[in-house]
């Protein structure tokens, strides 16, 4: 569209807000032929169609409930669902008494909650610490707000607490202690690395933060539990709020039904410290007046009827199978190549793959093109590394076994292995 008019400039935030997610999402949806091991979507096959049909039919017959669902509710969301969630999300930790519906806010997915928390607490130049690698979409949000995200060394047990202490010490030494705002953790089967913060580290994390707060004040923990319900082996670990009653003062615990039930319904939540609850709601009132009430009452019905308890074992079994298929395929296709390693996640949707140091898995490298030419899509791992702190590993890849069928996972890994062998000239 040729025009003589000058272009419209975009805001600093928009300029800082260029990430891969939109592009990857629409690429995956547009090219069903391409085997996408990129998208962190849940798979179509196990979406709870029956439970949904039954619940919609029940709702359709209840005009009082419908009327409620069609109306606005408060910015914080349906009090019915908040009451139910405050119990349900901590159902395995009955001793928890620091989770009140009054500090629980409902959002359109947990992503909106994470965004609001950043919006309410981050000014340009403020510091957030995160595992290296970490969830790239949230890093995009923080980067758009001109936060400094500092990466902390992490392994299969999540963020290393010794490394966290050292990172904090370095920040103090550089005179930036008053800019530290939050530590961001995906506690269980994290995105992208599939690792889970061990109980010992959870306890250490809370203790480190309490020490920091008694000295410097001002430090939150943003605990993202998006994948918590997707555990395929081992015992569940307590969420941070279940470990220490005082954690309620500084821990935000974010959850969502997008992975455990349906992303199209889009109900997430956060348990938020009293000190930021009101400002967060003010921001939310400006943005959306409250997330869709219909979705909230729908999820309330799903919980009330026990549908989620029936659905969880189904998807756990299903994803466990697909995880095993991916791990077996990696074993069969890549085990013999020197310098390649991957993690065995106990849950979630992701496998983190590290290639020999000389391979550039980013879009600028040749592997990406080879892989898409062969017909397989992955998330280049470099997106998941904070700009500061631990070095970026351009030889890394995030694989997801969420969307594809076992057969396509096998084919996808075979094609990826082929691309890697070409790349390494093997």
Query: Strand 220-224 to strand 180-186: parallel, antiparallel, or no bridges (unpaired)?
Result: parallel
Q: Specify the DSSP class assigned to residue 341.
A: E
CA distance 7 to 19: 22
Tell me which of 11, 33, 94, 95 binds a copy of itself, using CB under 8 A. Answer: 11
Question: Is position 276 an interface residue for a copy of itself (rule: CB under 8 A)?
Answer: yes
Tell me which of 31, 207, 289, 426 binds a copy of itself, using CB under 8 A. Answer: 289
Question: Is position 53 an interface residue for a copy of itself (rule: CB under 8 A)?
Answer: yes
How far out from the chain centre does Cα 192 lie?
Answer: 8
* Least Å from the CB of residue 244 to a copy of itself: 13
Question: Is position 282 an interface residue for a copy of itself (rule: CB under 8 A)?
Answer: yes
Judged by beta carbon, residue 218 or residue 408, the one nearer a copy of itself is 218
Token pair for 11? 């805001």
Question: Is position 125 an interface residue for a copy of itself (rule: CB under 8 A)?
Answer: no
* Least Å from the CB of residue 301 to a copy of itself: 12
Question: Is position 273 an interface residue for a copy of itself (rule: CB under 8 A)?
Answer: yes
Question: Is position 8 an interface residue for a copy of itself (rule: CB under 8 A)?
Answer: yes
Tell me which of 34, 35, 38, 69 binds a copy of itself, using CB under 8 A. Answer: 69
* Least Å from the CB of residue 257 to a copy of itself: 11
Question: Is position 119 an interface residue for a copy of itself (rule: CB under 8 A)?
Answer: yes
Question: Is position 311 an interface residue for a copy of itself (rule: CB under 8 A)?
Answer: no
Cβ contact 36:401 at 8 Å: no
Helix (H, G, I), strand (E, B) or coil at 174: coil
Question: Is position 387 an interface residue for a copy of itself (rule: CB under 8 A)?
Answer: no
- Residues 132 to 161: which contact a copy of itself by CB under 8 A? 137, 140-141, 144
**Segment near a copy of itself (CB under 8 A); pick from 288-296, 345-353, 375-383, 407-415:** 288-296
CA distance readout (Å), 117 to 11, 91, 225, 278, 279: 21, 25, 15, 11, 9
Question: Is position 13 an interface residue for a copy of itself (rule: CB under 8 A)?
Answer: yes
**Segment near a copy of itself (CB under 8 A); pick from 189-197, 275-283, 313-321, 338-346:** 275-283
Q: Is 373 exposed, middle or buried (0-12, 13-18, 19+ CB in 10 A)?
A: exposed
* Least Å from the CB of residue 14 to a copy of itself: 4
The residue with tokens 């029940």 is 58
CA distance 409 to 414: 8
* Least Å from the CB of residue 395 to a copy of itself: 26
Helix (H, G, I), strand (E, B) or coil at 34: coil
Question: Is position 70 an interface residue for a copy of itself (rule: CB under 8 A)?
Answer: yes
- Residues 208 to 227: which contact a copy of itself by CB under 8 A? 213-214, 216-220
CA distance 257 to 218: 30
- Residues 231 to 260: which contact a copy of itself by CB under 8 A? 249-250
Three-state SS across 37-91? CCCCCCCCCCCCHHHHHHHHHHHHCCHHHHHHHHCCCCCCCCHHHHHHHHHHCCC
CA distance 111 to 184: 13
Tell me which of 72, 91, 94, 174 binds a copy of itself, using CB under 8 A. Answer: 72
**Segment near a copy of itself (CB under 8 A); pick from 283-291, 304-312, 391-399, 408-416:** 283-291
Cβ contact 151:386 at 8 Å: yes
CA distance readout (Å), 9 to 14, 36, 190, 356: 10, 34, 36, 42
Tell me which of 102, 288, 360, 363 binds a copy of itself, using CB under 8 A. Answer: 288
């Amino acid at each position: 569209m040729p025009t003589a008019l000058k272009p419209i400039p975009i805001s600093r935030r928009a300029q800082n807000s260029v990430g891969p997610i939109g592009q990857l999402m629409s690429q995956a949806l547009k090219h069903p032929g391409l085997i996408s091991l990129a998208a962190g979507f849940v798979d179509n096959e196990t979406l709870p169609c029956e439970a949904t049909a039954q619940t919609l039919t029940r709702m359709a017959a209840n005009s009082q409930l419908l009327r409620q669902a069609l109306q606005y509710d408060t910015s914080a969301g349906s009090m019915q669902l908040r009451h139910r969630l405050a119990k349900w999300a901590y159902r395995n930790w009955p001793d928890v008494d620091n989770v009140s519906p009054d500090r629980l806010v409902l959002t359109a997915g947990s992503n909106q909650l994470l965004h609001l928390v950043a919006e309410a607490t981050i000014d340009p130049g403020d510091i957030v610490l995160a595992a290296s690698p970490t969830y790239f979409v949230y890093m995009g949000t923080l980067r758009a707000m001109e936060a400094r995200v500092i990466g902390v060394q992490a392994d299969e047990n999540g963020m290393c607490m010794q490394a966290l202490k050292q990172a904090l010490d370095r920040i103090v030494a550089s005179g930036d202690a008053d800019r530290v705002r939050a530590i961001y953790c995906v506690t269980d089967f994290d995105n992208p690395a599939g690792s889970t913060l061990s109980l010992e580290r959870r306890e250490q994390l809370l203790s480190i933060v309490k020490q920091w707060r008694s000295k410097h004040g001002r430090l939150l923990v943003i605990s993202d539990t998006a994948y918590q319900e997707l555990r395929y082996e081992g015992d569940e670990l307590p969420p941070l709020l279940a470990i220490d009653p005082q954690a309620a003062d500084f821990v935000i615990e974010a959850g969502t039904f997008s992975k455990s039930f349906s992303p199209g319904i889009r109900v997430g939540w956060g348990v938020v410290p009293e000190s930021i609850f009101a400002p967060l709601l003010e921001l939310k009132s400006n943005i959306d007046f409250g997330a869709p009430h219909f979705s909230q009452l729908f999820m309330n019905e799903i919980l009330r009827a026990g549908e989620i308890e029936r659905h969880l074992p189904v998807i756990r079994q299903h994803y466990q199978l697909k995880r095993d298929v991916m791990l077996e395929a990696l074993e069969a296709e890549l085990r013999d190549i020197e310098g390649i390693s991957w993690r065995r996640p106990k849950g979630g949707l992701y496998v983190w793959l590290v290639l020999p140091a000389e391979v550039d898995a980013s879009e600028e490298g040749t592997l990406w093109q080879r892989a898409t030419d062969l017909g397989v899509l992955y998330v280049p791992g470099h997106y998941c590394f904070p700009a500061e702190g631990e070095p970026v590993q351009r030889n890394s890849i995030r694989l997801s076994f969420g969307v594809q069928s076992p057969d396509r996972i096998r084919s996808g890994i075979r094609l990826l292995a082929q691309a890697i062998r070409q790349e390494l000239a093997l």
